[in-house]
Amino acid sequence: MYQLEEPIYFYVLFAIPVIALLFLLVLVWRKRAQDKFANPVLLRKLSPNRSIFKSILKFIVLSLALACISFALVNPKIGTKLETVKREGVDVVFALDVSKSMLAQDVAPNRLQKSKQLVTQIINSLAGDRIGIIGYAGSAFPQVPITTDFSSAKLFLSSMNTDMVSSQGTAINEAIAMAQTYYNDEEQTNRVLFIVSDGEDHEGNVGPVVEEAVNQGIKIFTIGVGTERGEKIPITRNGVLQNYKRDENNEVVITKLNIETLNEIATLGGGQYIEGSSTKDVVEEVTAILNGMDKTEFEAKQFTDFKDQYQWFLFGALFLLVIDVLLLERKTGWLKKLNLFNERT
């Protein structure tokens, strides 16, 4: 297990391509200046030890040193001590709709990104709880099993998109059925499922599967993302808008937030419907719901001791800088004998 203390310093790496561009410009300028001064044959006689290879080598060494400095500033930490700790919380599973209708932009930037933002902020507000994530469209799939590793969960959450499921639709039934397999602790009395969706393209009667979930002690809450006035579904390629989704009559499809369906599921599931337009309000409402539930104590393994690793990168940077200083831009004896560029002597 590792941590990155200051990942913002990875931006230092962007200096390397800038330096590379400047280095190439200097080489071109130097070549033109030398051509004006004398012809190549005369230049080789005037400066027989001049080496382009050594210049390139110095640039590579300097770039590696800059990369090491960047990693030293980021300060990676490696977990060295794994302990079993006791925590109190609720098992929370998020079922996230990744159907194409979630690309509609009636909420900024679109419904799917808004949904991921909501789930991320809810996770940030949790303390001793365990979380799991399910994705669904025409079928459901497990994205993150029940875990206390919030960082990994958010990483997998950020990668979810509408291309993860080839079959389209909104298989809420399958998502609810899959959620029942997530709660693996029989002593956990409070089990919560949050369905984040626009409720569109819902097929099938949810009653039986919701009833089965309730019998297992699962409370189902729904978070609606979208607007009732609706919006067109964009079709993009490489991030560029190509067209809008059309039906069999070649009419542009307008996808709307289906509050009725989401409200029905929440009511049958013993929970409530939450309007998802305001991230702050959603987080506060979810936090209040979870705080009002009894917490169950459970054991979880986690790294409790992390050691800094910046010193290795700092040492590497200093070593490379020393090499850069000692490395002269003229040919050395053994390098001249190799004659890497077939130069005439």
Domains and CATH numbers, the chain: 2-75+309-338 (no CATH), 85-301 (3.40.50.410)
| pLDDT exceeds cutoff 60 at 78 | yes
Report CA 309 to chain centroid distance, whole Å.
23
Amino acid at 31: K
- Count, residues in the chain: 345
pLDDT above 90 for 268: yes
Decide if pLDDT at 66 tops 90.
yes
Q: Would you state the pLDDT for residue 212?
A: 92
Tokens of 58: 């110095």
Identify the burial level of 337 via C-beta atoms within 10 angstroms of its C-beta, where 0-12 means exposed, 13-18 middle and 19 or more buried. exposed
- Whole-prediction pTM: 0.64
pLDDT tens digits, residue range 162-171? 888 766 666 8
Neighbour-count burial of 95, counting CB atoms closer than 10 A to its CB (0-12 exposed, 13-18 middle, 19+ buried)? buried
Give the residue from 102, 108, 109 showing the smallest Cα distance to 195.
Answer: 102
Section 39-49 average pLDDT: 63
Which of 53-62, 110-119, 250-259 holds the top average pLDDT?
110-119
Residue 121 pLDDT more than 70? yes
Q: At what angle do helices 207-215 and 172-179 cross, to 10 degrees?
A: 10
Tell me: the pLDDT tens digits for 92-108? 999 999 988 899 999 98
pLDDT at 305 (0 to 100) = 65
Query: Is the pLDDT reported for residue 186 higher than 90?
Result: no
CA distance between the termini of the chain: 56
According to DSSP, the β-strands at 270-275 and 218-224 are parallel
Q: Identify the bridge partners of residue 170 per DSSP, sorted by sequence position.
A: 202
Mean pLDDT of the chain: 83
Give Dmax (Cα) for the chain. 92
Higher pLDDT, 214 or 80: 214
Show Cβ contacts of residue 265 under 8 Å, excluding neighbours closer than 6 positions.
Answer: 172, 195, 206, 210, 220, 222
Q: Which residue has the higher pLDDT, 39 or 272?
A: 272
